[in-house]
Amino acid sequence: MTTITKIPLGQNGPLVSKLGLGCMRMSSVWGGPTNDENESIATIQQALDSGINFLNTGDFYGAGHNEMLVGKAIKGRRDDAFISVKFGAIFHNGQWLGLDLRPIAIKNFINYSLVRLGIDTIDLYQPCRLDNSVPVEDVIGTIADLIKEGKVRHLGVSEITAEQLRKANSIYPVTALEIGYSLADRQIESELLPTAKELGIGVVAFANTAEGLLTGDMKAPLPADSYHNHFSRFQGENLIKNLEKVEVLKQMATDKGYTPTQLAIAWVNAQGSHIMPLVSMSRRSRLPENLKAMEIEFTAEELNTLNTSFAPGTILGDTYLQR
């Protein structure tokens, strides 16, 4: 099996795999079914065996289930894994209630996370996003205190604006920014990505297939019970026109001998040495395909075709990534 190269996470940051494993889908977040736990653990362990050391989880994924799962998978091989944990989201009965970013809550959250993961220190700790409910100074300052205590190694941030990133970094050095990024979602290219690069902050890019739009498997209309129907991108004429754009990606994938998903991941990977595609997997069978995507190279003409066909604004409608 292909092994993955390592890169520094941000300027002079810790060495991590150029491909990250998102563990969220191994648990029930929105009230759906939980995947087979043994298969999920085996997937994490095989990813580690392949050199993927960046494992992304959240304390609210499955109400702690995801952290316990990761904890079981890394037992006895802590040094093989770089653990990234998001906090702050509050769910009840599968419903989003809001954020709790109070310092007292953060200090409570991390102790539960450490116990569930079975570790002494979290490598990257980050609020899942920032709002105006608590001053940024208090949120970032609390994580800085946890770093001084030895409970956290590095500060991360997620789904924020360029202005928020600058402010957070001025309070304590930010190691990594986690953000949605794909051919279909390029709005961060105007301000956020340049800011991260200027500040020497690594980028952990999730949603590389734009919630399935770029897999080549989506067809209009979607089933009535699909969660995608909540977003205008996947509704009516928007979806039909968006899928027409995806045909360009499908044709290129056929010509190159890969899948559209592999090309979608490869495009994100090609956007910079400081950008890590974060790919969600819950089955070992997905690993070879996703690892292979990291070897794909594009010609200048192919990149121009993709960048033109998926220029910012060409994909119609919004998803949760636009806020």
pLDDT at position 213 is: 95
Structural domains of the chain ordered from first start:
6-210+265-296 (3.20.20.100)
Provide the token pair at 4: 């993955």
Which of these is catalytic: 61, 125, 181, 258? 61
pLDDT at position 29 is: 65
pLDDT at position 229 is: 84
Q: For residue range 281-317, what is the model confidence (pLDDT) as tens digits?
A: 999 999 999 999 999 999 999 999 999 999 998 999 8
How many C-beta neighbours within 10 Å does residue 248 have? 16
pLDDT at position 35 is: 77
SS (H, E, C) 132-188: CCCCHHHHHHHHHHHHHHCCEEEEEEECCCHHHHHHHHHHCCCCEEEEECECCECHH
Q: For residue range 13-39, what is the model confidence (pLDDT) as tens digits?
A: 999 999 999 999 899 766 667 778 999
Q: How far is CA 50 from the centre of its chain?
A: 19
Per the annotation, the verdict on 227 as an active-site residue is no
Low-confidence ranges of the chain (pLDDT < 50): none
